[in-house]
Homo-oligomer: A and B are copies of this chain.
Amino acid sequence: MSSDFRSPFARRTGVSATWDAAKARTALLAMFHAAVQSADPRQRLAAHLPQRPRGRCVVVGAGKSAAVMAAAVESAWPDVALSGLVVTRYGHTVATHRIEVMEAGHPVPDANSQRAAQRILALVAGLGEQDLVLALISGGGSALMSLPAPGLTLADKQVVNQALLVSGATIHEINAVRKHLSAIKGGRLAQAARPASLVTLAISDVPGDDPAVIASGPTFPDRSTLGDVDNILAHYRIVPPPAVLTYLRQAPETPKPGEWDSDYRLIATPTMALQAAAETAASFGLHPWVLGELEGESRELGRIMAGIARSVHRHGLPVAPPAVLLSGGETTVTMGPDAAGRGGRNMEFILSLAISLQGQLNTWALACDTDGIDGFGDAAGAVIGPDTLARAQARGLNPTEALRQHDSFGIFDALGDLIRTGPTLTNVNALRAVIIA
């Protein structure tokens, strides 16, 4: 429908003299490019490497970026005697020459996850003080390198995990239990590598970049204790399988802070990606406002972000145009039973944003996943502008109904407004950018 009859108060300002759709699209894509580049191991890893070791260098690791990180180590250290094994997700392998790459299951661990963990623990055992273990950690590493503690099966761990997930326990409590039932998480990989020196290079995909949380912290000391585990299981009235009870009665404690100096280096984080996007935005003359890493239902974030964008547009609050609202983090899409749609968390966010903005002038936005794949299909995300709703309606599409059906992909595919990068082999979650010019 035409919107001409809307009140003049809804159209207080005219069209920007200095911004148009083409310039906005260029700026948005440049911000996204900068965010992805900031997290690309091929560009970022080398600067974080420690001094070359006098002894051997064993490279281990797990995560969606493990293979590309290993390749980056090989490039940076062509003359170091590297060996080792990293495990990544099926299809995430890149060519390496000295470091072996395995593939395993994600998000659900499989037999390869266990084999990888066993082989990695074996590789770091028996090294000397002159030797260096380089651990390459990224998101997904928890599933890709998974090994139950001695005497336990994967099924034992899953029973306890499932009970915790429905109990109301916090993520900190769940992680405390998980780590104590694992042979490799919660610092046990670091423990196995002693007396070799250990340096971790990590890409964070968790809010706050807590090394104890990234891939469940295989190389980071664990603050939780066996006593905490007992309390948590009792508090939430969880009765674990007999094998778990038997194990916990005589289990060794996870390594604790202070037991060694952890050399843990974050080479890429969601915050660094946001800062890279902010610098690029500033080069286009936009005031960047970094809202941080956000969680919540995608479509609701769209409505809320529209409220902030309206405030910028109408009142110059919290910042005067031309500005860009930047945010990261990982939102969720809760599918109802009647939803048949195709679309990822970012496309759903930005479709909801477009609907809430109702064609607000001088406002353009992008929402993409930095890993290059937004849930469904082969696109990283999508872009919108003031004419998105009108263009959709002109083609007989119904954005409101598409949102209800979680079918954001169909809308943006038809409009030609998908962003395609291919897999980027890194992941620092979403980049959302809303320009108000």
Contact = CB atoms under 8 A, between A and B. Distances in A.
A39 to B, nearest CB: 17
Interface in A303-334: 303-304, 306-308, 310-312, 314-315, 317-318, 327, 329
B228 A2 contact: yes
A156 interface: no
10 contacts: A1-B169, A2-B231, A4-B223, A6-B172, A8-B257, A9-B212, A168-B400, A294-B307, A294-B308, A297-B297
Interface residues of A, number: 65
Interface in A151-172: 168-170, 172
Nearest to A355: B170
A401 interface: yes
A266 to B, nearest CB: 10
A1 B235 CA distance: 8
A55 interface: no
Nearest to A303: B296
Given A208-B310, A293-B310, A3 B172 contact: yes
Interface of A: 1-10, 168-170, 172-173, 176, 207-213, 220, 222-225, 228, 231-232, 235, 257, 271, 274, 289-297, 300-301, 303-304, 306-308, 310-312, 314-315, 317-318, 327, 329, 356, 358, 398, 400-401
A411 B290 CA distance: 33
A311 B278 CA distance: 15
